[in-house]
Chain A
Amino acid sequence: MSLPLVVLLPFLGAMAAPLFAQGGRTAIAIASTVPALIALAALFPHWQTLADGGVVLHTYEWLPAIGLSLSFRLDGLSLLFALLILVIGILIILYARYYLKPEENIGKFYGLLLCFKGSMLGIVLSSNLLLMMIFWEITSLVSFLLISFWTHKKGARRGARMALTVTGGGGLALLAGVLIIGQIVGSYELDDVLAAGPIIKAHALYPVALTLVLLGAFTKSAQFPFHFWLPHAMQAPTPVSAYLHSATMVKAGIFLLARLYPALAGTEQWFYMVSFTGMATLLLGAYIAMFKHDLKGLLANSTVSHLGLIVLLLGMGTELATVAALFHVINHATFKASLFMAAGIIDHETGTRDMRRINGLWRFMPHTATLAMVAAASMAGVPLLNGFLSKEMFFAESLALNLPGYWAWLPPIVATLAGIFAVAYSARFIHDVFFNGKPINLPIYPPHEPPRYMKIPVEILVFACLMVGMFPTISVGPLLYAASSATLGVPAPDYRLAVMHGFNLPLFMSFLAFFGGLLMYSQRKRFFAFHDRFREIDEKAIFEKVVFSLGLRANRFTTATENGSLQRYVMLLIVSALAVAFLPISKMGFFIGSNGLTPVDWPTATLGAVLIASALATAAMHRERFFALVLISVVGLLTALTFVRFSAPDLTMTQLSVEVVTVVLLMLALYYMPSWTPVESSRGRRVRDMGIALLAGSGMTIITLAILTQPFSSISEFFLANSKTGGGGTNVVNVILVDFRGFDTLGEISVLAIAALGIFAMLKNTTLTPPPGDGLGHAWARESHPTMLKQIARPMLPMALMVSAFIFLRGHNLPGGGFIAGLITAVALILQYIASGFSWTEDRIAMRYHNVIALGLLFAVITGAGSLAFGYPFLTSTFGYITWPVVGKFELASALVFDLGVYLAVVGATLMMLVSVGRINPHSAIRPVNSESSYGADTTTLTQRETE
């Protein structure tokens, strides 16, 4: 339980952090250390197991189908990184307490910092590669948010974006690499992957997988040529720079290399890709660092260089080099974090980070200066400090590398050269900042020592530098041994941690680097002049340019394809559908199945001919809208007839009643619209559209023919067999609707309700002025409610309702049911609106259609849920028979209540749709139009008129 807890706690703390922000900076800082303290206490008991070379595993199943599990692993390597994350994290929290100003959003800052801590712990403790990927991505995201913490700064936003683009892109590559490894191994569990090293390395996809994984690691750890994001991430608050961008997150890539070392390392590809990348980064970072005038810029480039050093060591592939790499991880984290903190203090106290202005601070802040000088000396590799030890090991390893021929000289030369630069920029950090005359034009003058507690984290880290530097075996020996063994997968080789290894070649290289560096610094004016001759590459400008041109190209592509014309989109949609269907249909050709064609009888042929003719006529005469409306209603009626011809009486009834409602709706719409369509498209376009339509039509004909003549077996046998016995009804269609497939029906009436509400919302507060006539020169009829219609419509209502009730009740056994009955009721009510007007009807039928719809859905859901109460699945129906006087034996099914719900929903939805449209501007045709009146105002005037 303890390992998931260690990962989870910081996230919980992140959620709680904003609450503590109320209590001020001290309160939140104290609260934020709690997760780390608990985590340290939780990890402590495992130490003995790890020191003995054991592994602690906690595995919980999560998504076994894709190989993702919540498995956590603690071994020497993850312990080393976890300790770095936790301990430096605590120091950073303390430091940030004094660094941040009280008016800043401290809740957000600490929350994000804790989120980062949790996800970073997640990376190092995950035992499942997919799980690790999740945490990996979270660190990229949180890093983005932390770099851009000061959102008002443009540089911070851009730097954050750059960091996210580079690390996020690398994350994608890494994910691909991890997936390939998972495919090769058949598992994402770390144990399996590490054990499968030989299989992975022998696999054909190994080069691809390795390249992708390295891309992920190199982007995260700012390796050349992806190093440029790290200096730009320095726009972040200094605690973030110290924590994420020097001590922990940028080490995630290195952690990954170390973690997958047994699985991936030891091949030529590994050696060349990793060591040469490291070498290039080492040299480039050290060189650039020398010429940066910004304190943090110098430190950032130095970080790049040191990360390159560690990567180079891992790339060498020898066991001792790996030990040295891990040792340098510890050392770099300690001295670089303290240097960043010192830089933050200087920035805080002087108001600038420009080394050309900050000079001679020794006199103002001797305490801070001493600390920074010790840390910088460690960075330079001065003896008795920890930086010296790992650098010495690095020099020794660079000599031991057996490259063929003259190439053997390359690693030692690069190492020494980088050492010279490192000494030079460290010397610059010390001399330029603390000595070298007087400060020039500081924004804050005179600078003071920072608050006492702000220096404590720096002191602790510097103390660690000294301890490791002087007593390496006692201070880090066991931890380093455990970490090395865990990384290599075998017990670590014999090595000796000592302050001095005697007078040998590595010592001479250190010597050379030290004095070479000092010499270089003393001649810095020449080097600066030399450097100034080259134009500096501004990675940010290039990056922005690339992003901008990418955006521009994407834009151009979008503009070319999407011009805002719906007409074109519809065309593209249909054409793509045709294109997709073309090949299979042309392969199949004109296909008649084994059932063959049945002979045509005359009535059917006539029906078909009229249907086809009226469909084509509608298309041809669509400009005359009223006429087209009449034609399309003919099509609808013939469709209804087709259904009844082919044994579907329910469909006919539905189609007929829908037809009526549709025509009423379209008539209402035409009242507001022009009555004719102008010629819009060119002749060529019409011919093109006809071609498309013809293709679509023939395609559908061919497919339909192929289907119709094909024998088939249907699952309907089940419905036919069980309709009466299981559903209690003989009308199988209705039983399917309300019983077998009741859930579908529930969904469908919900869609109906949503459409009705959408229409209601869309037309609310919309005004439309109808044209004075039909557009063809005829005025509207003067009398909007003809007496004849009124007189006939009123007695029709009870009759229609009776018919509807009859059809509803018989629906379970004979054609009919809730849908059809609902439509008939709706038609009957609509007739009242048409015949007698809006307010007349509303006065008499006081129904709120929202409520009707809601009631309908409620009935349906409650019936469905009712069966749950009896322990049956949702929407199980039951039925029984009762004998009524007069009527006789009558069936009562719970499905009937469900059907009642359907009925109400259909009535409510249909009426709401039509009434919403009718309401837009009622009666305006027979009166001078007041174009500004909304329907509310209009109804009142209307009522007045009627009462007059």
Chain B
Amino acid sequence: MELVFALAIGALTAGGVYLLLRARTFPVVLGLTMLSYGVNLFLFASGRLATGSQPVLGTAAQYADPLPQALVLTAIVIGFAMTAFVVVLSLRNLADHGNDHVDGDPKKRTPASKHARERRPL
């Protein structure tokens, strides 16, 4: 059981990371979403895997660890907020640059140091 679970997290991470490294915004958003699935499952795993023991008092003989569940619950919601934010960021990028490359316009790329180079000593 643990092996399947671990492999699933591995697959989610691998897929997420690969997509994160793509050059267009949409795959990056997908990658981020997938990576957060993986991370949520990973956090959930810190409470170990338990079958049929939901942490609702009086419904089971043993209870699964409720704390990681509570943390993951908020993490899911926050993860959604983050995904939404990144989606909107990419939409804004599209509106401002006319394309959906993660580097803005790759032809007119401005390295961080370009601004610094323009600055001469006093």
Contact = CB atoms under 8 A, between A and B. Distances in A.
Interface of A: 154, 157-158, 161, 544, 547-548, 551, 555-556, 558-559, 562-567, 570-571, 574, 595, 597-601, 604-605, 608, 611-612, 615-616, 618-619, 622, 625, 628-629, 632, 635-636, 639, 642-643, 645-651, 654-655, 658, 661-662, 665-666, 669-670, 672-674, 677-678, 680-681, 689-690, 692-694, 696-705, 707-709, 712, 714-716, 719-720, 723-724, 730-733, 736-737, 741, 744-745, 748, 751-752, 755-756, 758-759, 762-763, 766-768, 813-815, 819, 823, 906, 909-910, 913-914, 916-917, 920
Interface in B1-28: 1-15, 17-28
Given A562-B112, A651-B76, A680-B23, 18 more contacts: A598-B2, A611-B11, A622-B19, A639-B41, A645-B51, A648-B44, A655-B40, A673-B25, A697-B15, A704-B10, A708-B5, A715-B67, A720-B55, A730-B58, A733-B73, A755-B82, A755-B84, A768-B91
A567 B67 contact: no
Nearest to B112: A562
A697 B103 CA distance: 26
Closest 8 CB pairs of A and B: A697-B14, A701-B10, A608-B4, A693-B18, A730-B57, A619-B15, A680-B23, A755-B81
Interface string B95-122: 1000011110010011111101100011
A666 B87 CA distance: 7
B77 A906 contact: yes
Interface in B63-85: 63-67, 69-74, 76-85
B17 A574 contact: yes
A665 B4 contact: no
A595 B1 CA distance: 12
A913 B103 contact: no
Nearest to A765: B95
Nearest to A729: B57
Contact of B87 (A628, A651, A669, A705): A669
Given A565-B109, A719-B66, A766-B95, A647 B74 contact: no
Contacts of A669: 26, 29, 87, 90-91
Nearest to A599: B1
A726 to B, nearest CB: 12
Contacts of A767: 95
A117 to B, nearest CB: 28
Chain B interface residue number, banded: 35 or more
B109 A622 contact: no
A898 to B, nearest CB: 14
A704 B5 contact: yes
Contacts of A567: 21-23, 102-103
Contacts of A670: 26
A920 B23 CA distance: 24
For the complex, would chain A's binding face be called helix, strand, loop or mixed by DSSP majority?
A: helix
Contact of B37 (A636, A736, A756): A636
A670 B29 CA distance: 11
A133 B19 CA distance: 51
Contact of B47 (A661, A678, A714, A745): A714
Contacts of A646: 44, 49-51, 64
Nearest to B84: A913
Given A616-B11, A752-B78, A752-B81, A571 B21 contact: yes
Nearest to B21: A689
| Central interface residue in B12, B20, B81, B89, by most chain A CB within 10 Å | B81
B2 A705 contact: yes
B121 A741 contact: no
A555 B73 CA distance: 45
19 contacts: A567-B21, A567-B102, A605-B4, A611-B11, A618-B19, A647-B60, A648-B44, A651-B72, A665-B84, A673-B94, A678-B24, A690-B18, A720-B55, A736-B67, A736-B70, A744-B71, A752-B78, A755-B81, A763-B88
A704 B43 CA distance: 9
Contact of A570 (B14, B21, B57, B58): B21
Contacts of A566: 102-103
Given A733-B73, A815-B56, A619 B14 contact: yes
A697 B17 contact: yes
Nearest to A653: B73
Contact of A564 (B12, B71, B109): B109
Contacts of B29: 666, 669
Contacts of A563: 109, 111
Contacts of A758: 85, 88
A794 to B, nearest CB: 26
B45 A704 contact: yes
B69 A733 contact: yes
A611 B26 contact: no
B77 A730 contact: no
B34 A615 contact: yes
